[in-house]
Structure 1
């Protein structure tokens, strides 16, 4: 399946899964260096963390909508 046929939620989920996969492969070892890059501060892991932070912070839709005006017929608002 290619991107034009995916919903924004599916694209977001794939980005999150990819970022997690990258972080598993570039997780620092006991010596503090990335096993793939052999650097102390792996730029690939940093980019994956930034991507994960950005993707999980986005709201694709709001499930809670607030009424624009109070409903006079609602008994909970009487009083």
Structure 2
């Protein structure tokens, strides 16, 4: 996957996680979305945004990986 595309997906996911709980109010989003403007909340949102972007990248490039290749990076 292109690095710029992954960065764009990361920014979109970070924005969704930043305003996800505030705009919906759903309680099950508290562990992954930001609930206030603290440094920890921004680190948490950054971690989960990158984690989800990496999962999306894995699903997209999974077919191109060799079956005997243990490490995908």
Q: TM exceeds 0.5?
A: no
| Structure with greater Cα Rg | 1
Return the TM-score normalized by structure 2: 0.38
**What is the TM-score of this pair, normalised by structure 1?**
0.36
